[in-house]
Structure 1
Amino acid sequence: MKIHNNYNRSKRFDEQGEGLIQVLVAVAIIASIAAGISSVIVGARDKSVATQLCNAVREIQDAKARYLMDNPAVSDTTPTTFANLEPYLTAMGVNVTAENQLLAGTGRTITNYGTFATGVTIDKHVDLTHISADMQPIVQMITFADGG
Structure 2
Amino acid sequence: MFAKSTILNLVAATAFAAPTPDNALTKDATPYVFSVSRFSSVCTAATCYYGFNVSATEGPSGEPSFTATGCGGSSVDPFKPCSTIGIDVPGNVETKEENLGRDVGANVFVKLSWRKDNIAYTLTGNQTVQHTGIDKEPFDFVITPKTITAVPDKA
Q: Same fold (TM over 0.5)?
A: no
TM value normalised by structure 2: 0.27
Q: Specify the structure having the higher radius of gyration (Cα).
A: 1
More strand, by proportion: 2
TM value normalised by structure 1: 0.28
More helix, by proportion: 1
